[in-house]
Amino acid sequence: QKEVEQNSGPLSVPEGAIASLNCTYSDRGSQSFFWYRQYSGKSPELIMFIYSNGDKEDGRFTAQLNKASQYVSLLIRDSQPSDSATYLCAVTWGTASKLTFGTGTRLQVTL
């Protein structure tokens, strides 16, 4: 059974701080890694994806991938109250679009 694990949270960070969200996966054959953001009552929306070991930056967001340790993380710099949401980690094996999701980490950015 291929699994994706996330701490459910809530993770609480003050406004302006760095939020660090982590995800581990069970299968070394995993190929692609995605972070989705989901606001309460809304659908998941793609934030970032990463395929290779190392860091990938997009604005305030940085995805980090370490295939040897089987984890992927998402850093959010200068956290804003509007970043408060559930962040879903997703992994693919084989077919790039067939995603297996973690249960998500709820992030709360406090004023």
Q: Binding residues for other proteins, per CB under 8 A?
A: 34, 42-46, 49, 88, 95-104
Q: How far is the CB of 67 from other proteins (least distance, A)?
A: 19
Q: How far is the CB of 96 from other proteins (least distance, A)?
A: 3
Asked whether the beta carbons of 63 and 33 are under 8 A apart, the reply is yes
Distance CA 93, CA 111 (A): 39
Q: How far is the CB of 44 from other proteins (least distance, A)?
A: 5
The smaller minimum CB distance to other proteins, of residues 44 and 84, is found at: 44
The smaller minimum CB distance to other proteins, of residues 34 and 79, is found at: 34
The smaller minimum CB distance to other proteins, of residues 2 and 77, is found at: 2
Distance CA 56, CA 62 (A): 5
DSSP state of 53: S
Tracing tokens 């973690």 back to the chain, one arrives at 102
* Alpha carbon distance, N-terminus to C-terminus of the chain: 41
